[in-house]
Amino acid sequence: MEGKLPVGWRWRKLEDLAKFVYGCPFESSKFNSDGNGLPIIRIRNLISCATEMYYDGYYDENYIVNNDEILVGMDGEFNIVKWNGGKALLNQRICKLEFSSTEIIPDFAYRALVKILKQIEDKTPQVTVKHLSAKQMKDIQIPLPPRETQRRIVAILDKAEETRRLRAQADELAEKLPFSIFVEMFGDPMQNIKGWKMVTPTDIASDDKNAITIGPFGSDLMAKDYRSHGVPLIFVKNIRENKFRGNGIRFIDESKGEELKSHRVNPRDILMTKMGDPPGDVALYPENSQPGIITADCIKLTLNPRIANASYILWVFRTDYVRNQVIRSTKGAAQQKINLSTFKSIKFPLPEIELQNQFSEKVNQVEEIRNLQALSNPQIEDLLASLMQKAFVGDLVL
**pLDDT tens-digit readout, 99-157:** 989 999 999 999 999 999 999 999 998 777 899 999 999 999 999 999 999 999 999 99
d(CA 228, CA 230): 7
pLDDT value at residue 384: 85
The CATH T-level fold of domain 146-196+352-398 is: Helix Hairpins (1.10.287)
In eight-state DSSP terms, residue 61 is: G
d(CA 119, CA 113): 10
Tell me the one-letter amino acid at 97. L
What values do phi and psi take at 51, rounded to 5? -135, 140
d(CA 283, CA 301): 11
CATH of domain 10-144: 3.90.220.20
Contact 230, 252 (CB under 8 A): yes
d(CA 385, CA 380): 9
pLDDT value at residue 242: 62
Q: Is the peptide bond before 278 cis (omega within 30 degrees of 0)?
A: yes
pLDDT value at residue 333: 63
SS3 117: helix
pLDDT value at residue 129: 86
pLDDT value at residue 398: 63
Q: Which residues in the chain show pLDDT less than 70?
A: 1-3, 241-242, 247, 331-335, 397-398
pLDDT value at residue 128: 76
d(CA 3, CA 194): 71
In eight-state DSSP terms, residue 290 is: P
User: What's the first-to-final CA gap in the chain, in angstroms?
Assistant: 24
pLDDT value at residue 92: 96
d(CA 187, CA 174): 19
pLDDT value at residue 364: 94
Contact 154, 107 (CB under 8 A): yes
316-319: long-range contacts at Cβ-Cβ below 8 A with a sequence spacing of 24 or more?
Answer: 316/182, 316/186, 316/189, 316/348, 316/349, 317/270, 317/272, 317/280, 317/282, 317/346, 317/348, 318/179, 318/242, 318/282, 319/182, 319/188, 319/189, 319/348
CATH 3.90.220.20 fits 197-350, yes or no: yes
Q: Do domains 146-196+352-398 and 197-350 have the same CATH topology?
A: no
Q: Which residues on neighbouring strands pair with residue 99, listed in sequence order?
A: 18
Residues 6+ positions from 263 with CB-CB distance below 8 Å = 210, 213, 214, 215, 216, 293, 294, 300
Q: Where are the domains of the chain?
A: 10-144, 146-196+352-398, 197-350
Q: How many helices (H) and strands (E) does the chain have?
A: 9, 21
pLDDT value at residue 395: 85
pTM higher than 0.85: no
